[in-house]
Amino acid sequence: MNARLPTDPPRPLRLLLAAPRGFCAGVDRAIDIVDLALQRYGAPVYVRHEIVHNRFVVDSLKAKGAIFVEELDEVPDGAPVVFSAHGVPKAVPAEATTRGLDWLDATCPLVSKVHRQAERQTDAGRHILFIGHKGHPEVIGTLGQVPEGTITLVETLDDVAALAFGTGDALAFLTQTTLSVDDTAEIVTALRTRFPQIVGPKAEDICYATSNRQAAVKAIAPECQLVLVIGAPNSSNSVRLVEVAQRCGARGMLVQRGDEIAPHLLDNVDVLGLTAGASAPDELIREVIDRISALRDVTVEQVVTAEEKMVFKLPRQLTD
């Protein structure tokens, strides 16, 4: 008989650790801004929206004295406030300035680049077709950069087919920075097919970190029965990594902490993939690896598909 006895040791597990993974330059910058603001102003420092989509990071900053709010009317007069890495509509800093609040903008510079492109396309008289996910903070922020009626959100191929524009209309497209590279390419192709005159960005708007993390998952997932992605359910780039793993034939699963990994999840898994979304810190990656190692005899193999050396400057208010 080949049946394993209950006393048999668990099978060894190959753990393929994707690289790049975890924090990107924009997330590093946003967290540094809150930390430095706390040092400069003292607690409390208010943060509009989650600075990045990770509960561990948010709770860590709360412990240092950051207070997270959804809207500016929750910020007392005279208090410092930080805007999240996802970006905000123009009306938000305008309101903060009107109230005399000391505000800091932690918007990722790559998101700010999309904002500037939106302004330029609108100034040129083009209507913008913005590819993104309705309700995501980055999308809300980008839609709020230009006058109402000058930008239309496109989420799917069906949305492209339903657009009422014609080949004579002046159009441009832009995209959210944390989308699926493959899905976005399909939508862009559909837009260019329907509207040959449409103008696109000189370089794609999907950020380097999103693209690199998806490419790393594509490199490991075909060998894996299961790919774990460390990230929050409201983290767009993390959810996209799960989808990429699934398209490569592996089971994909989002986890936030090591204690979410029950022993049965590793049943019939000989090769496990592991990555982390751009807002997941190294502490959580180590925690998950420790949890897996407690369940199975693990051999860790790092698979590197790109090197990231991007660093973004901090706001002048914190460096002068």
138, 148, 223, 301: the catalytic one is 138
| Structure-token pair, residue 311 | 């660093």
Query: What's the chain look like in SS3?
Result: CCCCCCCCCCCCEEEEEEECCCCCHHHHHHHHHHHHHHHHHCCCEEEECCCCCCHHHHHHHHHHCEEEECCHHHCCCCCEEEECCCCCCCHHHHHHHHHCCEEEECCCHHHHHHHHHHHHHHHCCCEEEEECCCCCHHHHHHHCCCCCCCEEEECCHHHHHHCCCCCCCCEEEEECCCCCHHHHHHHHHHHHHHCCCCECCCCCCCCHHHHHHHHHHHHHHHHCCEEEEECCCCCHHHHHHHHHHHHCCCEEEEECCHHHCCHHHHCCCCEEEEEECCCCCHHHHHHHHHHHHHHCCEEEEEEECCCCCCCCCCCHHHHC
Q: Round to whole Å and give the CA distance between 52 and 264.
A: 31
Query: Is 138 annotated in the active site?
Result: yes
Q: Which residues are catalytic?
A: 138
